[in-house]
Amino acid sequence: MRKTLTAASVLALALGLAACGSDSGDGGGDDGTLVVGATAVPAGEVLTYIKDNLAAKAGLKLEIKEFTDYVVPNTALQEGSLDANLYQNKPYLDDFNKSKGTDLVPVVDAYLPPMGVYSKKVTDVTKLADGATVAVPNDTTNEGRALKLLAAKGVITLKDGAATDASPADIEANPKHLTFKELEPAQLPRSLDDVAAAVINNNYAQDAGLSPTEDAILLESAKGNPYANLLAVKRGNEDDPRVEKLAKLLTSAEVRKFIEDKYQGSVLPVTTG
């Protein structure tokens, strides 16, 4: 009895390890499915449109895994439980690779989700009260992006040469003596009752029921904007035929029209089909 149980246990363990190896090594598994990580809005919605309307005709099997933060989709991609992800911009990807030691690369730009300033206290960012508190994302690239947005409107002035990783230490002039409160990006919409304004990433604004085109008191311009969301893979997988098919679909005329019709300017296509 004991020998039989031991043999059965060894067999079960071996099967379990084999299953774990399959999950962690190739996100797509044996059936050729491309597993893509995404935040729910807009990436998840764009990918769902492709899955439901375009993927089969292109010969692509697509599985979408949604995430609520900006870190796990990249660690999962690096570790192999995802084949690709869609949610981040190039400055964020570069900073993530540098700080986390990952080896992820962009494949194609998909769309631009403009960052915006939101407030329940004022309707014009230039009317913020002296000493007001403004909430900003606490990760390096999104905080720099938020500060550059405020600087573009003249609310603050950044030092010459301030890059995409600008922080409050790079503020040269702050005529309204604003205080900056650094928060996890997902928490920013919930901070609006407690701060004068918050600079919120597009996906979290839309998740919270905010319309970038209607509710933002200041919205990024698309002109010369380096923050387009991109399809990313682990280095070496750029030429995966499944990835190439998805990249082609993301930049197609059909997806461009879907983005224009659904988001009405709250998300902007960056390429034509």
256 phi/psi in degrees, rounded to 5: -60, -45
Residue 13, judged by CB atoms within 10 A of its CB (0-12, 13-18, 19+), counts as exposed
Whole-model pTM? 0.84
Rounded Cα distance, 136 and 118, in Å: 11
Query: Token digits for 155?
Result: 């609310």
For 116-219, give the CATH class: alpha beta
How big is the chain by its Cα radius of gyration, in Å?
22
84 phi/psi in degrees, rounded to 5: -160, 165
Going residue by residue through the chain (273 aa), what tens digit of pLDDT does each one get? Answer: 333 334 444 334 333 333 333 333 456 655 899 999 999 999 999 999 999 999 999 999 999 999 999 999 999 999 999 999 999 999 999 999 999 999 999 999 999 999 999 999 999 999 999 999 999 999 999 999 999 999 999 999 999 999 989 999 999 999 999 999 999 999 999 999 999 999 999 999 999 999 999 999 999 988 889 999 999 999 999 999 999 999 999 999 999 999 999 999 999 998 544
Q: Are 38 and 85 in contact (CB under 8 A)?
A: yes
Q: Is the fold of 26-114+226-269 the same as that of 116-219?
A: yes
Rounded Cα distance, 271 and 273, in Å: 7
**pLDDT given at position 31:** 82
Rounded Cα distance, 198 and 120, in Å: 10
CATH (residue range 26-114+226-269): 3.40.190.10
Rounded Cα distance, 197 and 181, in Å: 10
Query: Token digits for 72?
Result: 């796990």
**pLDDT given at position 271:** 55
Rounded Cα distance, 142 and 164, in Å: 8
Q: Where are the domains positioned within the chain?
A: 26-114+226-269, 116-219
Buried b (16+ CB within 10 A) or exposed e, 126-150: eebeeebbbbbbebbbbbbbbbbbb
**pLDDT given at position 222:** 85
